[in-house]
Structure formats: C-alpha cells, structure tokens
Structure 1
Amino acid sequence: MNETPTRVYAEIDLDAVRENVRALRARAPRAALMAVVKANAYGHGALPCAVAAREAGAEWLGTATPEEALALRAAGIGGRIMCWLWTPGGPWREAVEADLDVSVSGLWALEEVRAAARAAGRPARIQLKADTGLGRNGCQPADWAELVGAAVAAQAEGTVEVTGLWSHFACADEPGHPSIQLQLTAFREMLAYAEKEGLDPEVRHIANSPATLTLPESHFDLVRCGIAVYGVSPAPELGTPAQLGLRPAMALKASLALVKSVPAGHGVSYGHHHVTETGTQLALVPAGYADGIPRHASGRGPVLIGGTVHRVAGRVAMDQFVVDLGDGPARAGDEAVIFGDAGRGEPTAEDWAEAAGTIAYEIVTRIGGRVPRVYLGR
C-alpha cells in the first residue's frame, strides 16, 4: 500500500540534514555546532531533524521559545538545548528543571530565573546576550556592566551558572557590510569586560549560518546554524546551496487534481489576472496559501510538471492554484514539484522567494501544518 499522501506533501530528506551538519562542522572545525530547530525546524519537523542533527555531530540544539525546547525534552532529546525568546512570566522553573540553557538580556529576566532556580532547588544555566548592533533582543553596551555585575552576584550565591556570552549579527548575509566588523569589535569588548569581572563562560558565540560559511573570525567557541542545516542558502549573494556545499532537505510535491483543455480567451483564477492566449491545457495543483504557497508569487511561482518548469497562472487561492501547460502532456495524478533541489532540475525555495519578493527562510518555514511531512533517511 502506498502511504505517501496524494494531495500535497513535504518530503524531508534527513540524510541531507546530516550531510549539511557535517559540512557546516567542517567549515568551523574548532567550534562546536548548534543546530537551530526553532519554528518546527524551519518547517522541516523539529524532532526528526533534532535527532538527525545530533547523529551528525551537533553538540547543541537551539530553539527560540522555551516551549519548543521543553517539547524536545519531553520527546526524549538529551544533551544541551538553548532557548532565547522569553517574556515575563515564562516557564522558567520548567526550563531549569529540564536542564535547558536560557538566555538573559535584562535584569527582569535574571530576577525571574533566579527565583525559578530557588524554587527548583538547583542553579539555572544562563547565557547573557549582548546587543552589539542588531537592535533586537540583548543588553545594550551602556547596560552591560549592570547586567554582568548582577549575574556575577547571582552566580556567587549559587542560583545561576553563566554558561555562555553571545550576540547576533544584523548583516552577516551581506559580505563586507561595515556593521559586521563593528559588531565583532563590540562583542570582543563586551566579552573582555565580562571576563574581567569574573565570568568564565563555557561558550562564546555570535556566528549564524552566513557567518559560519563566510566569516571564520566570528566562530569563537560555537556556531549557530539554522537555515543552512536544511540546505537553503542564507542569501543569494553568498551562493546557491550547491555552491555552499549544502543539499536542500525539503521537496514540496503535489498530485495534479485536474487537467483540462480550455479555449483561447479563458480567464484563470480569481480576478482573471491570467487569460489564455490560445487553446491550452490547465493543470490544477491542490495546494494554496493555506498550505504555505505564497500568494505574492501569483503569476510567477515555478512548478515542475512532466519534466518542464511552468509558472503559476493567475492568483494563488487558499487551497489551489493553476498552471498553464500549453500543449504539454499531463493528466490528473501526475506529480508536480513545487520546489526541491536544483540538482534534480527542480525549482528551489530560493526561486519561490524571488518570485514572492521574500527570503527562502520564509518559503520553507511557512509550509502549513496540514501539509504532511514524509521522512526519508530515518
């Protein structure tokens, strides 16, 4: 019995995840590697990808929210897991009891995690985040002395163990951007101050996927790789996945729901933004923006059908879109590859990003929950 879904499904190659982790470790041979599995592993499935990354040598796993990290623990994932996106009243005690490394960017977070550690009867593992110029989370340089001082005091009282000092780049995907060196300088200065005050962290880290691939001086003790783990290029300027030594792990596929002949002058989909120029065949792909197909790629998104790449004809609807096949042979049930691996002649997540005016991160991450994931290489 064929258990592969027939409407639309995301095929996830876990061997590609393993290969990508090994390739990234080779780029930073003196640093440990964190595989970031936030947002359901960028749409690929957090638990299977976490297992595959661990098997390939990822010493750390990273999530944004504590809930994501706690779910991995509940599923039996051991080893080091870090989570960094906290709000007041978060599950600090649960995180302490689950042996998570938690990020602290301000005094309010330090106070909450100290209270959680007292309640749990054990020290919390914390990592202080420095805002070196990204302007999102993290402690500003002007407030760094106060946060470091409070962390040193908390460590002395036994409520916390400062395991890491870290930051995040704003423009590492733009090689040569002046902010890169400014952030590295700020990070080194903030590290030096914290160490002078008595902190001796296990890991210092600032490198994301693009910095791991292009900026060896940023590797420090640990590199945090997210999108590159899944074989997607962090930016067109850095190269294609193949040029970066990566292999896409996700292929989004569907079965054609209908193929029919229509005359010239026939409108297609909402608003009739596509009108057939001649008699032609229309193929119905049963996937739409409810599944994560970007509506902004209407009229432009590429699809491989019958060995030929065609474009979305007209608007992407909630559950379906149409492809104008011309006189290409096709019938209901034939495979449509929405995106996959350029090495197989398939459109890529990067192609869809260009068509939708976005980034490839969003293309894979937005694939919806009603799209089944089919895993290869388990």
Structure 2
Amino acid sequence: LDIKRSSAKLALERLGYTWPDILDANCPLESPTSPDTIDYEIITIDGKAYLSLLTPQGTPSPLQIHALNVLTYTFSILSLPPSRPSPTPTFSVPNTSSVPPQVNDLLRDLGLPPLRAAPNANIDVTAQPDAAGAPGIPEHAEGNAIREIPIRALLAPLLMIAFRTVLLLYFFSPTRKPLIGLCLIVWIIYEMWTHVRVVILRPLDRAGGNGAGPGVNGAQAGGAAPAAPVAQDDDHAGNRNRPRPGARVPNTESTRDTQQVQGPPIPRQSNGIIDSLALANVHQENKLLWPLQQPTSTPEPPTFLRKVMSFFSLLVVTLHPEVYNRRRVALRQRESRLRTEMNAIERGTEARDSEQVSSEEEQRKIAFTQQLEAQHAQRAMWVKQYVERVRRDDWVEE
C-alpha cells in the first residue's frame, strides 16, 4: 500500500499538483447508527447504480463527513489527463521507390505495361539536354516560378516603404486629415506595386519574350535563315547565357546582326515615378515598331484627342529636368536603332542588285536584310511613315 501511495504522489507531482493532506488523515471509526443520521439506498437508473438520499433532514456522521471531504479532492484528481507514457524508440525503414522485379515480370506475362518508380517531386521540372547536345527546353517553367522569386531583392524595398510610412504617420495623423491618409494609402500601393513589377513581373516577361523570340522571327523571315540566339550583354544575364558543354556556339557577328530583329528593346528596371513619367507610352510604341509576330488586326493610329492629351501631359511632366533627360535618351536610342535598320535594308538592296554575292559574309548580310524587310513589312502604314520621318530628319539637338 505504501508503494502505491508513493507512486500516486509522484504522478500527481509530475502533473504540477501537491498531495492533499486529507488523503493521509486517519479515517474515523464508524459510530453506531442512530435515527438522526443520513441514510442512502442504491437505485438503478438506465442500467447504472446511483445513491438516493432517504433522510434529507438527518445529520451526517463523522465517517460520512470524512468521505465527502475525500471526494472533493478525488473527483478533481480523477478529472486530470493521464500522464504521457515515455516514448519508445522506433526504427524507420527507408521507403525505396524501386519496383520489385517479380511484379514487372508478372505484369509482362499478363500483357500489362510495367510499373515505374514515381519521380522525385523536388527535382527541376525543366527538361535535360538530349543526346545530340542541344540545350534543354523548359517544359513546365511555372513549377520553378515561385522558387525563382528574389525574396531579398523584394524585402529590402518593402521594409523601407514601411519605415517611411511609419515616419509619415508620426507627423501626419490620418484621422484628423483624411485626405492625407488617402494620399498615403495610394502612395504605398503604388510603391509596392512598382517594386513587385520590377522584381517579379518584369523578369518573367523578359524570360517569356526571350523564349519566343528566335522561333517567331524565324517564321517571319519567310524561308530565311533562322535567327541565332541572342547574347544578352546586360548585367542581369549573369551565367545563364553561357553555352552548355557540347552545344554549338553561334557566330558573334551573326548574333550581333540578328539581335536587331529580336523584337522591342528590353525595358530597363524602373527607378520609381520618374521613369514611369519619362517612359510613358514608350514601351507600347516599341512593340508597334518591332512586332514579334504578324498582328491579327492593323493597329489604329492615335486619335486627335489622344494626341492633344499626350502633348499637354508631356509638356507638363517634361518640365522636370530628369524626366526630360530620360525620355530624350530613350527616344534617341529608338531612333538610332531605326536609322541603323533602314540603312542596312538599303545597303542589302544595293548588294542584291549588284549581284556580287560571293562570300558567306555577304550571304549572311542578305539574309539579315531579308529579316529586317519582313519585319518592316509587318508595320502599319502610319508606323512606316513615322520610321521614314525618323530616317529623314536629324537629331533635334543638332
């Protein structure tokens, strides 16, 4: 009995409780029954035994009082959750994905296809290079989209936005001035969207454009030589543009030539509201100047109302010197590329008329000129007029 009492005390202390003193008190002796004491009888309700009080006006005996005091503690102790058993060591058997050979033999006898091991879910979903040494083509690039999000490049600007927001809320109370609070909300949403577009959306659009560019331009040339892969010179390229071992490295000069027909220029990273104002409508206009594929419908020229609105809006925003300089640089680069392409088309036409195509270099230049002509033919008439006007006019500063 003492051993069981000691184990019960230890179990109760492990649960964070102390041992009640009433459980160690001596039980009073049973007194002879008297007509004034409380008496109970056992009754059965729904198949269960209960105590029913027979003498409500009686006086409990010392033994009954002691029993009631003990029950006030034991009911609470019995309602406690049981102690957790000590963990037993287990040995895990490695789950191999290999299929037993006898299963495949049985399936082969039954004329059924054999089972194959399930692929690992953590491997890269892009295809591997084939036996010929050609680079692998990404089949399910969306599987790696979340993994390629640069969290660090996105976290630092968002923390700075949060810091600037707290600083502004310290000086300006949005509850007293709701208009300032509304302006703060609009500004925060714009800043967050700018960083998300620059860090996440723009690299994804750039990757999609580079993946579709060469194949589309090859179809545009109308039987001309397919365009070589574009060798990006940006700092963002890193080691992604290094050729794979065993892959055929394109000619450097051919790559430089065909780079001009790969579509519109890749937009640079935006530095905020200044770039957004300076490069307004520039990227959309570049897509009309260098279409990657034949448009389904002819682009309509801008209406007179749109021209007037664009004129006055640019007249206002270019009052800022930085906005004016950035827009001037972007337009000058675009016009320089257009002049270079139109001059290349003219020289290629003269070379074909002279019929002095002897070397491989001349043939490559003619093929490149045909690609430029095919791209120029896809432009709308009003876009061609703009190209001719750019080629005919000189620089504004000159």
- Higher-Rg structure is 2
Q: What TM-score, normalized by structure 1, do the two folds share?
A: 0.21
Higher strand share: 1
Higher relative CO (Cα under 8 Å, sequence separation at least 6) belongs to 1
Higher helix share: 2
